[in-house]
Amino acid sequence: MAYTLDLIGGRWKPNILWALLGGKLRYSELKKNIPDVSERILVLQLRELEKDGLIKRLVYAEVPPRVEYELTNDGASMKPMLECISAWGDKHRPNKTN
């Protein structure tokens, strides 16, 4: 458990992984999906997730350059865990409506 939490720990990494479960996203699309994260932190978290092999950064040789992010196989294998975390949060969130 400690290793997993080391990889995805923090406030934004699970949000990034969750957003990428739907497929490739550009940086601007990720920023829209996670509006409360600062640009500096988003870049830092993306770099860490890439370094840890959970996402990959795809750079297209276009003008202007286009960059997309997508889950690796290891990142995609976290889907059941992320779904459980999300479901638990939905169930236990204060002031939820039934």
Closest CA to 69 of 25, 32, 29: 25
**pLDDT given for residue 95 in this prediction:** 79
Return d(Cα 57, Cα 67) in angstroms, integer: 7
Q: Which pTM does this prediction carry?
A: 0.89
- What is the b/e burial string over 1-24, where b = at least 16 CB atoms within 10 angstroms of the residue's CB? eeeeeebbeeebbbbbbbbbeeee
Would you write out the chain's pLDDT as a tens digit for each of its 98 residues?
999 999 998 899 999 999 999 999 999 999 999 999 999 999 999 999 999 999 999 999 989 889 999 999 999 999 999 999 999 999 998 975 55
Query: Taking a C-beta distance cutoff of 8 angstroms, is the pair 8, 50 a contact?
Result: no
**pLDDT given for residue 92 in this prediction:** 92
